[in-house]
A and B are shown apart, each in its own frame.
Chain A
Amino acid sequence: MALKYIEEYRDATLARDLIKKIHGVSKRKLRLMEVCGTHTMSIFKHGIRSVIPEGITLLSGPGCPVCVTAQKDIDAFVEFARVKNVIVTTFGDLMKVPGSSSTLAKEKASGADVRIVYSVFDAINIAKDNIDKEVVFCAVGFETTIPTIAASILMGIEAKIDNFSIYSANKLTPPALAALMVTKGVEIDGFILPGHVSVITGTNAYRDTFEKYDVPSVISGFEPIDILKAILLLIEQNEIGKPALENAYPRAVSDQGNVKAQQIMNQVFEVCNAFWRGIGEIPLSGMGLKKEYQVFDAAIKFGMDMPEVPEPKGCACGEILMGLKTPEQCALYKKKCTPMTPVGPCMVSTEGSCAAFYRYS
């Protein structure tokens, strides 16, 4: 049943029609940014770059949570792993991201208790099963994951779990898009907006940014048909000169989004400034725990405050996330930096632009 649903959005005939239309309307060279790492992955996996006109450049944006995580936050994760009696819980993608001196994977090999979880609720369960230890969850995510993390904290309160805390490096999507638009050198003719995030935020969350910068924006699902459709709409908007904020993923995204999820998120978290890799501090682009929930803040609990450190020398992740460079323009790409010896997070994360280029092209 579920599969039939997916297949509909991978239909070869439908795809062929869309590709034909895209070639029909495309006249000018355009630079379109897929904001989300899941889009980057899907674009590569389905060979979408190979079927669209050469003049259309697809850029990966700041929507891969691991890739945008600041160096000092990665260092903090590694540092937690070194604290006695701490179990660090993390999504698998963070394991190999190089901090200044080590990675979670290396700490694990040296004896630290680092466990990969698929959901923050697994981390809560680990805390329940290990009451003599402290469990720290490395929270890196966007609007898609933040509500679940909030729910886990409420659950922790209800179950009176006091050996669980999170280190929040959570981030919000719209402020990053706005920051991109005012960054020197950034040229973007359209945004393919992330489907998963938009399910939570709703179309309305992008309205301010759209109205301010008037840049073509289309919310898209992750199947090839969805993405081709979004590309077609963005080209059409550009060719007729009428930027619009369109929702091409109405089967999942509404104007208001998931209000309940937003409520839970806003109950536990509040907007704060956040550091983005390569971009620096973006005002009001992060989500930190509200005062009343700070007993769950690992940074406070352990007094963890890592210094800001420069990103790995030569790594162009930051510029890549802003569409200023492609991975091939990084001097380290495929030389010093490979998925086996990653220098930056974009080569580690399965959603990272460098990893996708390396694996699929």
Chain B
Amino acid sequence: MTEEKILLDHGSGGKVSHSMFSDIILPLFENPELSKQDDGATLDIDGAKLAFSTDSYVVDPIFFPGGNIGDLAVNGTINDISMCGAIPKFISVGLIIEEGLSIKDLKSILETMATAAKKAGVKIVTGDTKVVPRGKADKIFINTSGIGVIPDNVEVSGHNAKPGDKIIVSGTIADHGITVLSSREGLKFDSDIKTDSAPLNHMVQSIVQSDCDVHVLRDPTRGGLGTTLNEIAVQSQVGIKIDEQSLPIRGAVQGTCELLGFDPLYIANEGKLIAFVKPEDAQKALEIIQQDEFGKDAVIIGEVIDETPGKVFLQTAIGGSRIVDMLTGEQLPRIC
């Protein structure tokens, strides 16, 4: 009974995942690219700057309002590459299918993948399929990897946040996690919430190619906005202050969170980014993001401060202040 085992917490994207990465994974693979711990690796191959990233999707249920595991998997990797400032170009797809999945479901998943890739302007160029006996997987798991090209003069990283930077979030938070949770069996709420899964590559290119000085880009997926801000605070060794009243949260999402005792700050997003921008350029960057189809509700939620390195503070609506810690364990398993 004393033998240590993997718990669901290890997959949460929060503290437990981080310690698994730094205690077990990183020491074995140690190299400068991996050690940076950004959303994707940035590579220099004979002078060509590339971004490379991979992600696996095990969401349950596989179909949910606004999307399914297929577009989630394509958009997820597109976004991870985009957060390196890169233009995503090529994607690979690995399918692990449970015996018994209906061909109709598979087709409809693959169709959404094709549509998502087309919309983002990336090509699915290689892939693999495996089928496992019933019960050895749950319907379908998808892995996607992708490569993108980082334009000259673009350099964004979680390490680059500077005191004074304004923090922009590109729209409402917690939509995806709450959508999946709500559509999961046994928890059927009457609401019109849907996933925010979307490709952010065009939005990213319009900001990084503008003359705005963008220091950090991240998509707050697993672990939510709270965890992502903590990661950046640690990577850049800065403090972060955000304002509760400015956080964009849909009414129905907030309501569901209240009902179930979840904090929207820790709920996954699949089509949102946060950008850390030099204060003078913040307004302009905000407007650029708002012009994008997926950035209409973008707002400035806070700033980087010169004290308390590694810590994130929230100014509450009633004028109080509190810490926003990284998510510790699993709040919601199999959300992406």
Contact = CB atoms under 8 A, between A and B. Distances in A.
Interface residues of B, number: 32
Nearest to B254: A3
A361 interface: yes
A5 to B, nearest CB: 10
Contact of A12 (B5, B8, B245, B255): B245
Contacts of A50: 320-322
Interface string A83-116: 0000000000000100001100110111000000
Interface in B246-276: 251, 254-255, 258, 260-261, 263
A224 B186 CA distance: 31
Interface in B274-313: none
Contacts of B186: 117-118, 122, 125
A109 B7 contact: yes
A279 interface: no
A339 B328 contact: yes
A293 interface: no
B84 interface: no
Given A19-B319, A44-B322, A51-B319, A340 B329 contact: yes
Contacts of B19: 340
Contacts of B187: 118
Given A125-B186, A350-B261, A47 B320 contact: yes
A45 B8 CA distance: 25
B316 interface: yes
Contacts, number: 94
B325 A3 contact: no
Contacts of B5: 106, 109-110
B225 interface: no
B323 A360 contact: yes
Interface string A11-22: 010011001000
A359 B323 contact: yes
A15 B317 CA distance: 9
Contacts of B6: 109
Top-3 shortest CB links A-B:
A47-B320, A15-B318, A339-B328
16 contacts: A3-B255, A10-B317, A12-B319, A47-B314, A47-B321, A47-B322, A50-B320, A109-B6, A118-B260, A122-B186, A224-B316, A225-B318, A339-B329, A350-B261, A360-B325, A361-B323
Given A47-B319, A105-B9, A340-B16, 16 more contacts: A2-B255, A12-B245, A12-B317, A15-B318, A16-B318, A45-B263, A46-B317, A46-B320, A48-B320, A101-B1, A339-B329, A340-B19, A340-B329, A358-B325, A360-B322, A360-B323
